[in-house]
Amino acid sequence: GAGVSQSPSNKVTEKGKDVELRCDPISGHTALYWYRQSLGQGLEFLIYFQGNSAPDKSGLPSDRFSAERTGGSVSTLTIQRTQQEDSAVYLCASSLGFLSRDGYTFGSGTRLTVV
């Protein structure tokens, strides 16, 4: 596609429920990144993929968070047993490669609200 697509754009969920956030990167981009941004804060790195593998999972805040990428394309970020502190905008980005000197292209994000 022309850009990075994320869905849903907004998600309101009840505390304790599981949620899945989807990211569809730019075609041909092998590297995919997940960040989150809490209200008024900077971006916090979560995880990145090179192809289907995730060499760096160090940013996931707890074992309730997981992510997968299949076919070197679409990625899903899953948050189990959501908590109120999980409320944030979850941003996905892609680039040609994780060592690429080129920039990232970000999606518009999924705004997650846990009530």
Partner 1 sequence: DAKTTQPNSMESNEEEPVHLPCNHSTISGTDYIHWYRQLPSQGPEYVIHGLTSNVNNRMASLAIAEDRKSSTLILHRATLRDAAVYYCILRGTSGRGSTLGRLYFGRGTQLTVWP
User: Please, which of residues 19-38 interact with partner 1 by CB under 8 A?
Assistant: 31, 33, 35
- DSSP symbol at 62: S
The dihedral built from the CA positions of residue 45, 99, 5 and 19, taken in this order, carries a sign that is: negative
User: Please, which of residues 81-110 interact with partner 1 by CB under 8 A?
Assistant: 91, 93, 98-109
Burial class of residue 2 (count of CB atoms within 10 Å of its CB; 0-12, 13-18, 19+): exposed
Q: How far is the CB of 68 from partner 1 (least distance, A)?
A: 18
Which residues of the chain form contacts with partner 1 (CB under 8 A)?
Answer: 4, 31, 33, 35, 42-43, 45, 48, 55-56, 58, 91, 93, 98-109
